[in-house]
């Protein structure tokens, strides 16, 4: 088990209840701050460039919402995407047709789920929050789906679960019925790879002590 320096607050800059629950599961004390950024990919942007840019921009956005009452803290940001064998990125589906287009490519096949995590050391000087130091990683998990039928897709969409999930499914929810196998980190698929996040927290907390 890691032991964290309790004098430095940990802030999860995320609106995802899954990420909060995962940190709670391994007893990392933290508070949450909501950040909002434009998650549209740039033209010709690769999956790795996109996901790195997302966690970096979420950390920059967090600088604007950190509380004045503290002088230093550690901020966790994360972003999860699905990636098809041809490199195509699967985000949250826009609508049912978009979800079906993704699911047809995932049916009876394997895709990957990538989560990027950035842990940033922030300090407030002269009333301004600044990033002093950051470490980042990207974790990949292989996920194999069963063959999906049109009626399975229609039924799942109407449960409301796929709408806010990358790739349009939740392995921790009803979507588990579609997952034949995974190879790699389970928590990474849910939205925060715990082993790697604990490792980054440990590194960033030890630096600059
Ligand atoms: C593949 C998969 C994704 N997801 C979720 C994790 C993420 O919350 C979401 C991907 O969207 P993200 O943009 O990574 O995260 P978010 O918008 O939910 O939260 P924030 O940006 O504020 O941190 O998909 C699951 O919950 N289960 C799964 O099996």
Q: Could you give the percent of the chain with pLDDT greater than 90?
A: 94
- Does pLDDT of 33 surpass 60? yes
Mutate which of 47, 138, 188, 191 for ligand 1 pocket (most atoms within 8 A of beta carbon): 191
36, 89, 165, best to mutate for ligand 1 pocket (most atoms within 8 Å of CB): 165
Closest CA to 32 of 45, 20, 42, 49: 20
Please name the residue whose Cα sits nearest to atom 28 of ligand 1: 170
What's the number of domains the chain is made of? 1
pLDDT the model gives residue 46? 94
pLDDT above 90 for 205? no
Question: Is pLDDT above 60 for 5?
Answer: no
Does 3 have pLDDT greater than 70? no
Question: Do the domain assignments include residue 133?
Answer: yes
Q: Reduce the DSSP state of residue 195 to 3 states and report it.
A: helix
Distance from residue 191's CA to the centre of ligand 1 (Å):
5
Return d(Cα 48, Cα 66) in angstroms, integer. 27
Asked if the model's pLDDT at residue 207 lies above 80, the reply is no
Q: Residue 4 falls within a domain, yes or no?
A: no
Q: What is the pLDDT of residue 206?
A: 83
Average predicted confidence (pLDDT) for the chain:
95
Full domain range(s) for residue 166: 10-206
Give the CATH number for residue 196: 3.90.950.10
Is 3 within the bounds of a domain?
no
pLDDT of 126 above 80? yes
Residue 134 has pLDDT above 80, yes or no: yes
Active site residues per annotation: 79
Closest CA to 10 of 202, 194, 209: 202
For residues 114 and 78, give the distance between their C-alpha atoms in angstroms, rounded to a whole number: 10
- pLDDT greater than 90 at residue 138: yes
> Can you tell me the ipTM of this complex?
0.97
Q: Which residue has its alpha carbon closest to ligand 1 atom 8?
A: 16
Question: Residue whose CA is closest, atom 23 of ligand 1?
Answer: 14
């Amino acid at each position: 088990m890691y032991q964290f320096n309790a004098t430095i607050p940990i802030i999860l800059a995320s609106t995802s209840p899954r990420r909060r629950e995962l940190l709670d599961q391994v007893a990392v004390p933290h508070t949450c701050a909501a950040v909002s950024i434009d998650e549209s990919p740039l033209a010709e942007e690769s999956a790795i460039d996109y996901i790195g840019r997302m966690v970096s921009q979420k950390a920059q956005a967090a600088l604007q919402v950190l509380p004045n009452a503290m002088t230093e803290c550690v901020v966790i940001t994360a972003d999860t995407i699905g990636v098809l064998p041809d490199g195509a990125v699967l985000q949250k589906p826009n609508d049912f047709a978009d979800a079906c287009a993704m699911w047809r490519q995932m049916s009876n096949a394997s895709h990957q789920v990538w989560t990027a995590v950035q842990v940033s050391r922030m300090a407030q000087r002269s009333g301004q929050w600044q990033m002093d130091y950051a470490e980042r990683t990207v974790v990949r998990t292989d996920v194999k789906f069963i063959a999906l039928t049109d009626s399975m897709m229609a039924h799942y969409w109407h449960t409301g679960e796929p709408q806010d999930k990358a790739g349009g499914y939740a392995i921790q929810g009803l979507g588990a019925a579609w997952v034949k196998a995974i190879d790699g980190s389970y928590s990474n698929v849910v939205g925060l790879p715990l082993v790697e996040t604990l490792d980054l927290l440990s590194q960033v907390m030890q630096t600059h002590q």
